Amino acid sequence: MAFVVFALVVAAGCVRLGFWQLHRLGERRALNAMLAARLGGTIVPVRDIARDSSSAAFRRVTASGTYDFANEFALASRTRQGSPGVNIITPLRIAGTDTAVLVNRGWVYAPDAMTVDLPRWREADVATVTGYVTAMEPTAANAVSATDARVLRHLYRDSLAARLPYPIVPFLLVATDTSRVAAAGDSTPARLLAPTLDEGPHLGYAIQWFAFALIAVVGAVVGVRADRRGLWSRRATAIAPRAQR
């Protein structure tokens, strides 16, 4: 009977995990619906986006202004198709304001995922950038790499605001005007793609957990039947000598 109890406990745990994965699937679908609505929405000027980065995230925007290449930096440890590299983050001084928006201009190859020749990847100074918005973390700790002040490991809003000589909007603009890989001699980094809207492995995992639960229940039933057959066999063995007397 101990085996049966153990099997039922395992089955209950697997069922619980299966429903948890279905819950995660529901969350993923809701997120995908939100992303699809925002990424498919009308492109608006960056100045019209709410300063609440959570409500602004993944909305499509455009910004015109002048790049401040003197204050750009690299975001370390970014991969693309399995290759190491960095993302180049450049402030764009928004035309007609004293404010800048940080633009993720895209990915470039770096063997150590840190070191890059930033001047090599400068585009035209005056630009109109189209892309989508992502949030930046508010905490400032450990924002700057220990080896190079122009190489960051994280985008911490407070630290970035403190190091730049002008105000910045509290979110990042990811440029998406092209997704090609830069050719030799081209100064345009490989633009980042929009988030993938898939459902992930949650449904498959849920099916697996429910299958494990079924296996455990079947095992418990088989164990009970085997135990009963053994009991009847022992009783028959005990009765047989008495019948021969």
Q: What is the domain partition of the chain in residue ranges? A: 43-175
Quickly list DSSP for 135-159: E-B---TT-B-SS-TTEESS-BHHH
Can you give the pLDDT at residue 35?
Answer: 77
Q: Is 14 exposed, middle or buried (0-12, 13-18, 19+ CB in 10 A)?
A: buried
User: To which H or E segment does residue 25 belong?
Assistant: helix 2-39
- What does the pLDDT average to over 74-97? 93
CB distance 135 to 54 below 8 Å: yes
CB distance 152 to 144 below 8 Å: yes
Alpha helices, DSSP H only, in the chain?
A: 2-39, 53-56, 157-163, 202-244
- Tens of pLDDT along 186-245? 778 999 888 777 888 888 999 999 999 888 888 878 777 776 665 445 554 555 455 455
Residue 174 CA to residue 102 CA, distance in Å, equals 9
Can you give the pLDDT at residue 211?
Answer: 92
